[in-house]
Every structure is written in C-alpha cells, then in structure tokens.
A and B are shown apart, each in its own frame.
Chain A
C-alpha cells in the first residue's frame, strides 16, 4: 500500500532534485536531473516530470498521493514565483501548482526552497526536537527558514524569514537587489568566492590570478592556510555572524542551523561564526541557542518538500 507516499521536488538553478517519501517515513534515493539551460520554462517543467518519475521508479513506488515542490525566490500558494531572485531560464509568472497537478493528477503544494530545507532538517535532520528552529542557508544567495513549535513561519506576505537582503554592512557593497551591504553579498557561496578572488587580486605576485574559482578550490586553499582564503573567510563569517545575530535577537531560537552549498563544501563555520556572535546578539538569546550544521546535505530541500505534502494531506 502506498496511499500516503509523497514526492518532494527541489528546483534549483543547476539541478532539479526529487525524492520519494514512503508512508512509513523512509525515503528513496535522491534523483538529480540537470536544469536545462535552454528550452525555457517548458524545458524545466519536462525536467521536473522526468525527475519525479525516475524517483518513483527507483523507490519502487506507484502513484504518489501528493507532491511538494520547493522553488527559489518568493513564491505564493499557487507556486507562482515572484521577484527577481530566480536563476531559472525564461521563467514567466504562471501557476506551477496547476501545471504539475495536471501532470500527475494529485494535489501539489510548495514553498520557498530554503524554508522547505529547514523543514526537512526539522523532520529528519539536525533540527529534530527543536522548539524554535532557525536556519540560514548559504548558496548562490542566502535564504532563511524559521519553524516555531513545528510550524513553518511564513510572515504576512509569505516572505517571512528572508534573510539574504538584510543589511549587515551600512553603505557596503552593492547587491543585485539594489541595496548596499546585504548579507548575501558577503556570506553566500558567491560572496565567499568573490571575497576570495578580491584577496587574490590584492596580492602583489607574479602568479596569474584566476578569473573564476570554485567552492572546492576555496575550501582547499583554506585548509592549506592560504592567507587570501583566510582573509575572505574572516569577512564572510563576520557578516554571517551579523546576520545570525538579527535572527537570534528577534526569534530567540533554541537551535540555529547553517546549511547550503558553503556547508556542503566543508567550509568551517561553527567556530568562526560562534565566537563573533557575542558582538551581535544578547546573552539571553545567544546562550540558550545551539549552533549546528545541516546534516541532510543536498537531500534537505526535497525531503522537506515531501514532508510538506504529507502534512497538507493530513490537514485535508
């Protein structure tokens, strides 16, 4: 019997991930399909279908009871993606919920990808048992998610927990949103790499400075003790501590999770961020909060989406 099996789908700029959550709480293997760079939204939708069907096959599951989808950017209940923060090709404003419901003939729910990744951690990962859980995800940008007494916090306009455009450096560097000094300018994966490249450029050396650098390259340089990498890491962690301080003072969580690409690349964060938190959060908020890394890695978003679908089915 697979009446309550759900699929979770996590749509990203480079890949679409799908996972099957079985009725007994176990899950199948994570299936990754590259996000097609051309073919527009129709290509992305075809990739979503392919990912979901492959996930069902590999898990040996039949028809799912519901589907949960996480998408980047600001999304409403119809899964219409709003705002400019989306890295998807030729993505127009339409209801992704309606499209996928028609495709699979089952109810579809969804939300912001980071909010769902934090939900995944709450259900199965580093967030289990937490009363007030906050998560800061460092990827292409910075996203946030907050779960209060087991319930995801969404805010009045559905954009609650958006932490990427919090100003952490007054009159700081220009962000793609138009503001200056946003947290994601410094502490996202993109931010860390940009800071690292800049430090490399500062060096007066005959060695040619690379035009691009990867997260694993940055992690290696950091482990090797390269001063440029250490300097970039220090600035990124400082800005991340400022961001975390706002979340701690405001929501007083008992656990704060860090996740996303920067964590998955093995960049050390807990110690460096933890020691800087004292300057940006009050003892009453900081002393009772445990700082932890995400444990579900790349699975978190898809698992959270599958759990969202399961929760909504129960509420029906």
Chain B
C-alpha cells in the first residue's frame, strides 16, 4: 500500500502543497478512520504539516471527526480519528448519447443520490448546442433533486464537479472531443464550453473508459470492460436519427487503475474484418447495418464479429474478468451462445487462463455512474507534476463548495 506514495516526486512549493493535500485525502479514504499521528507516519510527513492540512480539511467539511481511538498504553490522550465526510459533496456523471442522455449524482462514497435522463432534443439541427443544453438541463434537475432530498439535514451536499462521458475519441487532458460519430462532433472543445456555462470543474472522458472507472470503484482488479452501443446513422447534416450502427469501446483496468495509454487513446476497437470505406468499426456490409435493431440475425452477426475480435485481445490482456456493458450486457445470452457455439474452439491457445464473464455492476447507468466515479477517483488520486488534471484538484473543489454554500 505504501509503494506509490513513498516514491512520490517533489516539485514546486505550490505543487507540493496541492499534492500533500491529495495524499492526505487519499490515505484517509483508504484507511479511515485514522488518527493524525498515523497519517503522518504513513506518509512520512511532519506531524505539524498533517495538523495544518487536516484542520483545513475539517474547516472545509470534507473530513469529519469519526470517533476517538484507544488511549496509548501509557494512558495518554485518546487520539481523534478522522474520516471522509461522504455527504459533504457529490459529483454528477453525464452520459452524452443521442436519444437518451443519462446522468447520475454520486456522493464521495459512491452512493447514488439521484439519476435521471434527457432526450437530447434538437440534436439533429445543431449537435453542439443540443449537447450543451442537455448538460444544463441535467445539472438543474440534479441540483434541485439533491437539494429537495436533503432538506431535513442542516446542509445539503455541494455539487463539486462534472464527469462527462463521450462516445468517441476524446483527449482527456484538454477535454476536446476529437471525433464522435455518434454525437456528430469533430474537434470540439467540449470542456471549455461546459466550464464557460457552468463554472464547474469538469473532466471529459471516453465512455468505455468511464465504464471501467465505475466498475472498479476502488477495487484492485484487472479487467476488460467491453461496451457496445447502438449508434445513429449520421447523415451529412446530422439529420438522420435512425439507430443503425454499433459503437464498440474497450475500457482496460490494470491492477486497480484505468489504463489510458501514453496519450489517452488506449482501448480503441476496430474489427479485423473492417474495410476501408465502411462506416464505423465493423466489417458488416453497410447495407446490412440498418437492420441491426430489427433483425436478430444481424445483431447476432455483430456480436459474433466483436467477440471473435475480442478473443485475441483477451489473450493479450489476460484479465481476471471480462465485463459486458451496453448492448452486450442486454444480450448476454446471445454472447454466451456465440462463445459456446461458433467460437468454442478459439481459446485453445489460452487454456491456462481463467477469467469470468459478467455484466457491469451499474446496469443501464454504467456510463453515467462511471463518469461520476471517475471525477471522484481523479480527485483522490495524487496529481503528477506534469500534466496534472487541474480540473479535479481539491482547491478548485473547495472554491466550488464555498460558492454552493453562499448560494444556499
């Protein structure tokens, strides 16, 4: 447990302050309830530094006094044990997808506070405007519902930030959508547009990687998350909303961490049967694709093609589990039939591997819940000196909580 923390690199004074704060929050979350002395010992930091940081955290309200520990053998004072205050704040995860955007509000422990949906209206005329309007509407619904639900308590939790999941290639460091066929967005600066509108710390990520965050929720597991979603057939003017293609994404978790690759592009999928000029990622003939949702034999062909492509991936990754999301989860019986039928012999080379097939833990909310948890996970992770995810820093979140407090 002490490995990644012990080797933590130093940096500028202000960076060190930010990093120390994240280190303290991280260790409290992992080992709570915890005394100041044990925090100092575990992190190898001065007791005075820890006292300074924890008094700020107690003032802010994100940490609370949990209980008193046992007195020392020599009869000294009983230490105060600190724990995360899960209801201090919450994050909103938004799954941006044409036809049915979903959102989930989650507190710092990962408890679900609210979930809702939005049809993403006006998408056909102007995708970027429709996306921003949907984010605003979901935000208002979430804030109103969480406030109404917490009326009885003295202080309602503050909305700390947004996690936005996008079907397509995104650049999480800048929050740019490089290409999203499903949303009809190309080279679109989603993060900047959303923060201009909402003022909220925001992280934009690929939808399958969000699912991997949600599936982990603090577990130390290595798995492959496979997300399949019907996609609209997008005409030149984004006017067609007929769902006809299938978007496939892979979220890879290695030893309890989501693998993003050297440049945040890990987990891309393209079938070996794909041909130049085919829309999407599969090798299914373009004229057959429109029947995907209405013809079960076409769906079965798609599932068989994806699974056949997945088998080599499984043998390279050697995961403990393969987690199915989206259409693969909804049609898990077809997946099982395909694997035990035409693909039964394909694992011959990998007979020593043991792994389980399962459905994602959040069901229909898998993408939105994953996006909400991703924000929390990034918040608690220790920033790296270069390329720190500034949008999930405690300082920004404290500012946000203070704004929420004043407006309440």
Is B149's beta carbon under 8 Å from chain A? no
CB of B316, distance to nearest CB on chain A (Å)? 6
Do A284 and B178 have beta carbons less than 8 Å apart? yes
Q: Using Cβ atoms and an 8 Å threshold, which residues of chain B touch A153?
A: 254
CB of A33, distance to nearest CB on chain B (Å)? 30
CB of B53, distance to nearest CB on chain A (Å)? 27
Bound form: Cα–Cα A245–B269 in Å: 10
Do B262 and A254 have beta carbons less than 8 Å apart? yes
| 0/1 string, A142-172, CB within 8 A of B gives 1 | 0010001000011111111111011110100
Give the residues from 291 to 334 in chain B that come closer than 8 angstroms, CB to CB, to chain A. 308, 311-313, 315-320
- The one of A165, A246, A252 in contact with B262, judged by C-beta atoms closer than 8 angstroms, is A252
Do B316 and A166 have beta carbons less than 8 Å apart? yes
- Of the stretches B111-119, B234-242, B347-355, B369-377, the one at the interface is B347-355
Give the residues from 255 to 274 in chain B that come closer than 8 angstroms, CB to CB, to chain A. 259-270, 272-273
Q: Using Cβ atoms and an 8 Å threshold, which residues of chain B touch A254?
A: 262-263
Q: Secondary structure of the A side of the interface?
A: loop
Q: Using Cβ atoms and an 8 Å threshold, which residues of chain B touch A280?
A: 270, 272
Bound form: Cα–Cα A161–B269 in Å: 17
- The one of A74, A156, A179 in contact with B222, judged by C-beta atoms closer than 8 angstroms, is A156
Q: Using Cβ atoms and an 8 Å threshold, which residues of chain A touch B254?
A: 148, 153
Do B349 and A157 have beta carbons less than 8 Å apart? no
Q: Using Cβ atoms and an 8 Å threshold, which residues of chain A touch B259?
A: 148, 251
Is B276's beta carbon under 8 Å from chain A? yes
Bound form: Cα–Cα A50–B264 in Å: 47
Given A155-B222, A162-B315, A246-B316, A252 contacting B352 (CB threshold 8 A): no
Q: How many chain A residues touch B (Cβ–Cβ < 8 Å)?
A: 47
Do B263 and A165 have beta carbons less than 8 Å apart? no
Q: How many chain B residues touch A (Cβ–Cβ < 8 Å)?
A: 40
CB of A286, distance to nearest CB on chain B (Å)? 9
Do A160 and B318 have beta carbons less than 8 Å apart? yes
CB of A144, distance to nearest CB on chain B (Å)? 7
- The one of A159, A163, A284 in contact with B353, judged by C-beta atoms closer than 8 angstroms, is A159
Is B84's beta carbon under 8 Å from chain A? no
Is A1's beta carbon under 8 Å from chain B? no
Do A155 and B317 have beta carbons less than 8 Å apart? yes
Q: Using Cβ atoms and an 8 Å threshold, which residues of chain A touch B260?
A: 252
- The one of B262, B268, B350 in contact with A253, judged by C-beta atoms closer than 8 angstroms, is B262
Q: Using Cβ atoms and an 8 Å threshold, which residues of chain A touch B10?
A: none
Do B272 and A168 have beta carbons less than 8 Å apart? yes
Do B318 and A250 have beta carbons less than 8 Å apart? no
- The one of A130, A154, A156, A284 in contact with B320, judged by C-beta atoms closer than 8 angstroms, is A156
Is A66's beta carbon under 8 Å from chain B? no
Do A162 and B169 have beta carbons less than 8 Å apart? no
Given A159-B318, A246-B313, A247-B316, A288 contacting B349 (CB threshold 8 A): no
Bound form: Cα–Cα A281–B265 in Å: 11
Interface centre among A74, A157, A280 (most CB of B within 10 A): A157
Do A288 and B315 have beta carbons less than 8 Å apart? no
Beta-carbon nearest neighbor of A242 in chain B: B272
Beta-carbon nearest neighbor of A282 in chain B: B268
- The one of A130, A182, A250, A289 in contact with B316, judged by C-beta atoms closer than 8 angstroms, is A250
| 0/1 string, A170-207, CB within 8 A of B gives 1 | 10000101110010000000000000000000000000
Is A234's beta carbon under 8 Å from chain B? no
Is B252's beta carbon under 8 Å from chain A? yes
Q: Using Cβ atoms and an 8 Å threshold, which residues of chain A touch B354?
A: 156-157
Bound form: Cα–Cα A279–B278 in Å: 12
Q: Secondary structure of the B side of the interface?
A: loop
Given A284-B178, A285-B261, A162 contacting B318 (CB threshold 8 A): yes
Beta-carbon nearest neighbor of A83 in chain B: B352
Q: Using Cβ atoms and an 8 Å threshold, which residues of chain A touch B265?
A: 252, 282, 284-285, 288
- The one of A177, A182, A252 in contact with B268, judged by C-beta atoms closer than 8 angstroms, is A252
Q: Using Cβ atoms and an 8 Å threshold, which residues of chain B touch A182?
A: 349
Is B346's beta carbon under 8 Å from chain A? yes
Is A312's beta carbon under 8 Å from chain B? no
Do B262 and A132 have beta carbons less than 8 Å apart? yes
Do B346 and A167 have beta carbons less than 8 Å apart? yes
Q: Using Cβ atoms and an 8 Å threshold, which residues of chain B touch A272?
A: none
Q: Using Cβ atoms and an 8 Å threshold, which residues of chain A touch B222?
A: 155-156
- The one of A82, A167, A285 in contact with B352, judged by C-beta atoms closer than 8 angstroms, is A82
Do B276 and A157 have beta carbons less than 8 Å apart? no
Q: Using Cβ atoms and an 8 Å threshold, which residues of chain B touch A251?
A: 252, 259, 261, 266
Beta-carbon nearest neighbor of A161 in chain B: B316
Bound form: Cα–Cα A158–B268 in Å: 24
- The one of A74, A175, A179, A245 in contact with B345, judged by C-beta atoms closer than 8 angstroms, is A179
Is B250's beta carbon under 8 Å from chain A? yes
Do B276 and A279 have beta carbons less than 8 Å apart? yes
Do B270 and A282 have beta carbons less than 8 Å apart? yes
Q: Using Cβ atoms and an 8 Å threshold, which residues of chain B touch A148?
A: 254, 259
Do A155 and B319 have beta carbons less than 8 Å apart? yes
Interface positions of A (Cβ within 8 A of B): 74, 82-83, 130-132, 144, 148, 153-163, 165-168, 170, 175, 177-179, 182, 242, 245-247, 249-254, 279-282, 284-285, 288-289
8 residue pairs, one from A and one from B, having the closest CB atoms: A252-B261, A155-B318, A165-B349, A254-B262, A166-B312, A284-B265, A252-B266, A178-B348
Besides the known contacts A153-B254, A170-B308, A246-B313, 5 further A-B residue pairs in the complex with CB atoms under 8 A apart? A132-B261, A157-B318, A161-B316, A285-B268, A288-B262
Q: What are 14 contact pairs spanning A and B, CB under 8 A?
A: A148-B259, A155-B317, A156-B222, A156-B318, A156-B319, A162-B316, A162-B350, A167-B311, A179-B349, A249-B270, A250-B250, A250-B316, A250-B317, A252-B267
